[in-house]
Amino acid sequence: MKFDKIRAVEWRDDHLQLIDQRILPSRHENLCFDNVYEVAKAITDMVVRGAPAIGIAAAYGVVLAARNRFRQDGSDWQKTILKDLETLKAARPTAVNLAWAVDRLATIAAGMDPSTDPEPALLDAAKQIHADDIAANHTMGRLGAGLIAPGSAVLTHCNTGALATGGYGTALGVIRAGYASGAIKEVYADETRPWLQGARLTAWELVQEKIPVTLIADGAAAFLMKQGKVQWVIVGSDRIAANGDVANKIGTYSAAVAARHHGVKFMVVAPTSTIDMATATGTDIPIETREQEELLVCGDKRVAPEGAGAWNPVFDITPAELVDAIVTERGVVEHPTVEKMAGMMAK
């Protein structure tokens, strides 16, 4: 399918294969995993990132855990695997897809005959999660692109494409679909400090698929909007609360505030597995804070003076009142509220 060539997560030759996103775009390398603790470390260390891709990788991690526990512990595997599952769930706490995927496979595992090899059934379930994500992304791409007037320019933040999902992408899926249909003529991408996912990953994906992209510094977004150069900001999400508050990559909130001030529409694109109806508002979402060194160092070079500290939250919360549309595979919620979110999730 057009603009759908990249797969960051794959099950291949009885192993989990991940594109190492830490070294893109300078090198394109795949890493193979057959151990659940290696998968958990890969998630923590950002080999794989993006809420849907993390969830899919974790699902395959459960398969590896079950395989190894069954071989080592026989019919006791359902008990001994529990530690493995908790390790997976702790790898990245903000992204709800991770816990969702692990819990879904854990439920299947708990109901199995302990004397039966669990790998085939769990692998089928993990592959289904993966396939469902790709299908959902194509649906969201179509729905989101349908909101955009022909010939528009858009801004996106972080990476929400095939590298962050099972394939095609969430916000970048809308951009792929919009570019293919002619709704989108131009794409701007924030560089997204400190991991530079916009510069390294989003720009790389779009270049691979020959979609024109212009990179900007994060701090240039508001001025870009003031020039009237973009009509939509399109982002993904790592968790959406029941009221429509959105947790996403740090800098998203700033972009939403600037968009509202300048009359630019703000779209969030995420599968329903990202929506956490058990979390009432964004203030209840745990925000991961990573090492100071990620800000104090750029590449191999320290850019801040010795003695300086850093505050490095990975995500921020964009309140629902700044969101014009939440696009999911079940439909579009415009100007989200608790009632609208509940209605969409009930479909």
Give the pTM: 0.91
C-alpha to C-alpha distance for 228 and 200, rounded to whole angstroms: 26
The reported pLDDT for the residue numbered 85 is 97
| Domain closes at, from 135, 155, 172 | 135
Find the mean pLDDT for residues 199-223.
96
Find the mean pLDDT for residues 298-312.
93
CATH number of the domain to which 321 belongs:
3.40.50.10470
Task: State the catalytic residue, choosing from 4, 84, 190, 238.
Answer: 238
Find the mean pLDDT for residues 310-314.
97
- Residues 222, 311 within the same domain: yes
DSSP annotation string for 245-300 = -EEEETTHHHHHHHHHHHT-EEEEE--GGGEETTS-SGGGS---B--THHHHEETT
* Residue 96 counted as domain residue: yes
The reported pLDDT for the residue numbered 299 is 79
The end-to-end CA distance of the chain, in Å, is: 28
| Domain closes at, from 135, 152, 184 | 135
CATH number of the domain to which 119 belongs:
1.20.120.420
C-alpha to C-alpha distance for 268 and 259, rounded to whole angstroms: 13
- Residues 78, 169 within the same domain: no
238 is catalytic: yes
CB atoms within 10 A of CB 304: 14
The reported pLDDT for the residue numbered 197 is 95
Using pLDDT thresholds of 50, 70 and 90, give the confidence band for residue 179. Answer: very high
- Residues 288, 175 within the same domain: yes
The reported pLDDT for the residue numbered 96 is 83
- Per the structure, the complete domain to which residue 80 belongs is given by 9-135
Find the mean pLDDT for residues 6-18.
96
* Residue 159 counted as domain residue: yes
CB atoms within 10 A of CB 262: 17
In the chain, how many domains are there? Answer: 2
Place of tokens 């979390």: 279
- Residues 89, 145 within the same domain: no
- Residues 146, 16 within the same domain: no
* Residue 211 counted as domain residue: yes
- Residues 114, 236 within the same domain: no
Q: What integer best gives the mean pLDDT of the chain?
A: 96
**Tens digits of per-residue pLDDT, 91-104?**
998 778 899 999 99
- Residues 208, 323 within the same domain: yes
| Domain closes at, from 135, 169, 203 | 135
* Residue 2 counted as domain residue: no
